[in-house]
Structure 1
């Protein structure tokens, strides 16, 4: 492992920023394909894992996945000795240890420069071999700085990298932390006997986790959800009842028939266009689709227990699951969470916070919440975690822009064209709920396949990829497919020929606008967001790689009745792609290789 910034080599072929699930997977994939590539991973934490690094985990934190989906296909969690049982829950500590073991098993740890931030990344056209220059600074000492160059830059900092705070954050002078730092900073609140009452702001999974921890620490909690916000998030059981059967929710979302309810522009070519046409473009099909999501939502609410207590009814999501993306979470608390909040006297408040004073939060109904501490469960920023220069290239790279800038406004005609196409293909999108825009000061990501800068796609000078700009419910599986796709993309080995830069930008805009209308309760198109749309997305990546997408066998029958897709269905995908690449390189009999 590089000891300091000063001990680094001056140039690497590939630099990966981020040592979480995606960054580790990308490094392993790249090295599996080309062991000789010079590679560096940069991360600002002191251990691997990103969201699951040691600093960010805490007792009571569990992954949304059970064993079987939170693991790499070539490194089974049951073999990693982290205390997880078959189909068992995965604690934050187990997840962190698993990722550390994964990094050690594939000899990645020594490639990681820990406790280091990328201050900026600058692109130059002068030398393709040194396309990017990264300014680095040590987290522990601002005096320790350095610069390295690379041929290809892979950004694997996730959507939970940069905390978002409300405007009034600086006004409250008592202890306050964001849930991004709950693992490292919460003991100062949980263990302080002088802190009795704590406000939690937000309705997502991190808010639920914080409330659970505070209850167990004996604190009184004011849980505040914005009146104009999206309310509580969907919290479901891992094994909901479906008629007389108990089914694994994660697996259910990876069945082919359920993917038909996910209307998306990237589903074309999966072989089931006829089903989607009926469900999304006919009156009868749209009626069935609306009722499917309504019934699914009703069942989730009833089985979770959120509607059994009068106060916790405020946590019921405001819209059906039809209008959410990958934000749904799992109830992994070992007891009835909502009954616990009722018994603990958690005060759930639905109101907007208009201001804050040194010792109080001021609500729009006139209430003053004078608590001893505040937990901000307010989510994360959508933009890149470090500046990409020069600024003039950001628009063509698909990076979020200032919404008032001329560069952002130039996309208006593309967006109008995309909306017309989407509403014609998926009429139901017109009827979606309208909620205030998240981060209105910032435009969306516009990336080809949610990964690639549009201006680089039609060229052979591909030196930049963003790997974490699509949210799915199967982050580890997604990491494997995105990592392989990104290698093939960066080295111009995809099995697809993109159009012009304008055509690529239009497709990226189309996908972004789809997210705006399809996920108004999710990321609103600011970044990729899938729920029932994830399996078609994986299919598309496989088609781009020239690999088969129907992997169950038995043709249509296997796809419809062969059960859900699991990691085992994709095991060995890197070797499969490498074998296809080799076979394509071997000339057919009678041909001459030039």
Structure 2
């Protein structure tokens, strides 16, 4: 064999592309292992080592911050080719300990840094995930944990991880709605001392970012990340998927396009990454910045300052956060502008509700209160089936359900004292509490938001912008004019994945949201499942969904949702029914839930089992599977008139039954509160709340079961 054990790139040749130090590659005689030394800051992880059949040439693909570079060499020559080429992220077969290079070569002491080369010639399967929000990170960690020798690559279009908790999306004072202990992976608790968080307090946004970074490092998927890579087109192939990508790295100008292929694909693009920005007639002499709330962190230092007035358009949680940040500055004020044609102010609740002072998050994940919500995927056998049938199938039961929602809504209004001041009354939700969905948020501010409203620091106006005029003037449709220093549009997000799909018609096949009217067959199916839902849950049909408390009586019964909007049509809110036999694509986090951490964990295990073939397929016909998918997704569209179910599943009190359904599919019992005398402890099950801690160790349980059954890794 003519291979040299040491092949060296000169400093000059290396710097011509990297402007960095040299790299040394050690190739063993049996070509089954290699060692790489480098101290270059942009060199992240080697990806693959490939040898030609003649064994006279080797190629090494290396992942850098600027893309994937191929190094090619042979027995007598070496050349560096700066090409953006994809070959896949290979698993760690073994960690090769690097020894100090030969002293005759010009190496700095820093170049003793040990690197891992990921070589696995036998396993050709590759899984890719797109999106590094909580769901994407959790899916990657679970997949890697179950299949440590399978290849995985995680793509992210931005330069940082975390989705809405990425460092560029947060600002001082921002916190989670969750109190400590409810926003953590079940197998990676958010330690109070480690992350400087306290029990009973909302978690600061920067601590969430820190936690997610620590989780990535702890689970060993940090070497699988590729930031600054935007997927633009998803193309379905005969076998697997092809991704058309664009590098967003600043080094190469953000225009380097390349193509990747994968056998398995998880899209975890989130729901809050494509801003919906209104367009107003604007004078060229209008001076203030007009931005979307997604860009508020970037402009925070200039907008959040003393003696300013900020116009905040919208009434969702981000609008409240921006208004609070601005109005708490010395001599500064904010105006919340709420359009009359929308859903109105969201339900903003204190962390603790009801006369008993119950923790709202825990109340939502307590089965007894969950029984008050109709739910087609809930368990209908045993005690739970009996009580749900009583509550939603009988006249008396429906009276109890109606009273519960009335009491819950009245309690929030009284705790916030909304009706005690003419200005706070403008923030009273227009629809009843049953309709809230995830148009529900928590008062997580250090001081009372409503005091700012009562003091005039935050003004609430029900109107819309007519135009942005000359100087600092904004004119409203009602004729009012105001001077502003900035305009922040907290106007929500576009639905869907934000990707192009090939071939034509693939979006419908994948069950993606659309504003196109369904075809005749699908329209008939929608009407059929609606009839079942209204028959099974009469309260869903008879309830008042109008904007009963709208300040303008003439608008109380007008429609606010787009009748053409069709939601995600995914089985278990995870996979297209059309893919069930192929097991090649899944959508993680294509829903809203108050229990995101637990939901991400259970979805990740479900998808991992689905991809490797250890998740049993439903023993029903394809027609029945499609029917169940439409029933569950159409229920979400009908359930919350204030929510987002017409675009994607919107789960609050339906979250725990959804977790139970995922557990049932995996062969687990979702009721995990223990036994009494050999029977389910229904007292604990009904009145003790669930949290991430109740699912701790589930991945280990699954692995032991699969290994014990001899299932192995069928498709991975």
Other structure's SS at 1:81 match: helix
Larger strand share, 1 or 2: 2
Partner of 1:493: 614
Partner of 1:563: 688
Once residues 458 and 192 of structure 2 are traced to their aligned partners in structure 1, the CA distance between those partners, rounded to angstroms, is: 40
Deviations 1:66-100 (A, max 9, x none): 11111111111116722101232201111111111
Partner of 2:647: 526
TM-score when scaled to structure 1? 0.92
In the TM superposition, 1:416-495 aligns within 5 A as 416-430=527-541, 431-434=543-546, 436-438=559-561, 442-457=565-580, 459=581, 461-495=582-616
Closer, same or farther: CA 350–18 of 1 in aligned 2, 3 Å: same
Deviations 1:107-163 (A, max 9, x none): 2222211122111111111xx2x4333323315333222221111110111111111
Other structure's SS at 2:419 match: coil
| Cα distance, 1:474 vs structure 2 | 0.8
Partner of 2:317: 205
TM-score when scaled to structure 2? 0.76
Which of 414, 425, 436 pairs up with 1:313? 425
| Cα distance, 1:565 vs structure 2 | 1.1
Closer, same or farther: CA 296–370 of 1 in aligned 2, 3 Å: same
Closer, same or farther: CA 562–521 of 1 in aligned 2, 3 Å: closer
Once residues 6 and 80 of structure 1 are traced to their aligned partners in structure 2, the CA distance between those partners, rounded to angstroms, is: 39
Partner of 1:591: none
Question: Does residue 1:582 correspond to 2:707, yes or no?
Answer: yes
| Cα distance, 1:439 vs structure 2 | 5.7
Other structure's SS at 1:551 match: coil
Once residues 221 and 270 of structure 1 are traced to their aligned partners in structure 2, the CA distance between those partners, rounded to angstroms, is: 52
Which of 296, 307, 322 pairs up with 1:182? 296
In the TM superposition, 1:148-227 aligns within 5 A as 148-168=260-280, 173=286, 174-191=288-305, 196-218=308-330, 219-227=332-340
Taking only aligned residues, the RMSD between alpha carbons, in angstroms, comes to 2.3
The answer to whether the Cα contact below 8 Å between 1:514 and 1:525 also exists between their aligned partners in 2 is no
Gaps of 5+ in 2: 1-43, 45-62, 70-84, 90-125, 547-557
Larger helix share, 1 or 2: 1
Which of 317, 325, 335 pairs up with 2:447? 335
Partner of 1:510: 631
Once residues 502 and 281 of structure 2 are traced to their aligned partners in structure 1, the CA distance between those partners, rounded to angstroms, is: 29
Other structure's SS at 2:488 match: strand
| Cα distance, 1:251 vs structure 2 | 1.2
Which of 87, 98, 110 pairs up with 1:10? 87
The answer to whether the Cα contact below 8 Å between 2:673 and 2:685 also exists between their aligned partners in 1 is no
Closer, same or farther: CA 146–334 of 1 in aligned 2, 3 Å: same
The answer to whether the Cα contact below 8 Å between 2:464 and 2:477 also exists between their aligned partners in 1 is yes
The answer to whether the Cα contact below 8 Å between 1:309 and 1:339 also exists between their aligned partners in 2 is no
Deviations 1:539-591 (A, max 9, x none): 0000000111111012042444551112221101111112222333389xxxx
Other structure's SS at 2:258 match: strand
The answer to whether the Cα contact below 8 Å between 1:550 and 1:559 also exists between their aligned partners in 2 is no
| Cα distance, 1:197 vs structure 2 | 2.1
Once residues 711 and 605 of structure 2 are traced to their aligned partners in structure 1, the CA distance between those partners, rounded to angstroms, is: 21
Partner of 1:592: none
Which stretch shows the higher mean deviation, 548-557 or 135-144? 135-144
Partner of 2:33: none
Partner of 2:258: 146
Once residues 468 and 439 of structure 1 are traced to their aligned partners in structure 2, the CA distance between those partners, rounded to angstroms, is: 23
Once residues 396 and 473 of structure 2 are traced to their aligned partners in structure 1, the CA distance between those partners, rounded to angstroms, is: 53
Once residues 510 and 49 of structure 1 are traced to their aligned partners in structure 2, the CA distance between those partners, rounded to angstroms, is: 32
Once residues 584 and 210 of structure 2 are traced to their aligned partners in structure 1, the CA distance between those partners, rounded to angstroms, is: 32
| Cα distance, 1:329 vs structure 2 | 1.1
The answer to whether the Cα contact below 8 Å between 2:465 and 2:477 also exists between their aligned partners in 1 is yes
Deviations 1:244-289 (A, max 9, x none): x332221111111111011111113464111111111211111111
Gaps of 5+ in 1: 588-594
Which of 359, 366, 369 pairs up with 1:248? 359
Once residues 65 and 556 of structure 1 are traced to their aligned partners in structure 2, the CA distance between those partners, rounded to angstroms, is: 28
Closer, same or farther: CA 438–467 of 1 in aligned 2, 3 Å: farther
Which of 522, 532, 543 pairs up with 1:411? 522
Once residues 247 and 112 of structure 1 are traced to their aligned partners in structure 2, the CA distance between those partners, rounded to angstroms, is: 41
The answer to whether the Cα contact below 8 Å between 1:432 and 1:517 also exists between their aligned partners in 2 is no
Which stretch shows the higher mean deviation, 53-62 or 493-502? 493-502
Closer, same or farther: CA 322–78 of 1 in aligned 2, 3 Å: same
Which of 134, 137, 162 pairs up with 2:244? 134
Once residues 418 and 158 of structure 2 are traced to their aligned partners in structure 1, the CA distance between those partners, rounded to angstroms, is: 36
Flag the structure with more relative contact order, 1 or 2, with Cα contacts below 8 A and sequence separation at least 6.
1
| Cα distance, 1:370 vs structure 2 | 4.0
Once residues 519 and 193 of structure 2 are traced to their aligned partners in structure 1, the CA distance between those partners, rounded to angstroms, is: 47
Closer, same or farther: CA 339–79 of 1 in aligned 2, 3 Å: closer
Once residues 134 and 450 of structure 2 are traced to their aligned partners in structure 1, the CA distance between those partners, rounded to angstroms, is: 31
Once residues 180 and 167 of structure 2 are traced to their aligned partners in structure 1, the CA distance between those partners, rounded to angstroms, is: 20
Once residues 188 and 482 of structure 1 are traced to their aligned partners in structure 2, the CA distance between those partners, rounded to angstroms, is: 40
Partner of 2:372: 261
Deviations 1:498-520 (A, max 9, x none): 53333222222212221222111
Deviations 1:160-200 (A, max 9, x none): 11111224387785301111222223323224x7x832210
The answer to whether the Cα contact below 8 Å between 1:408 and 1:443 also exists between their aligned partners in 2 is no
Question: Does residue 1:553 correspond to 2:674, yes or no?
Answer: yes
| Cα distance, 1:304 vs structure 2 | 2.7
| Cα distance, 1:450 vs structure 2 | 0.7
| Cα distance, 1:487 vs structure 2 | 1.1
Question: Does residue 1:347 correspond to 2:459, yes or no?
Answer: yes
Question: Does residue 1:573 correspond to 2:635, yes or no?
Answer: no
In the TM superposition, 1:224-303 aligns within 5 A as 224-240=337-353, 242-243=354-355, 245-269=356-380, 271=382, 272-303=384-415
Once residues 260 and 171 of structure 1 are traced to their aligned partners in structure 2, the CA distance between those partners, rounded to angstroms, is: 54
Once residues 360 and 499 of structure 1 are traced to their aligned partners in structure 2, the CA distance between those partners, rounded to angstroms, is: 62
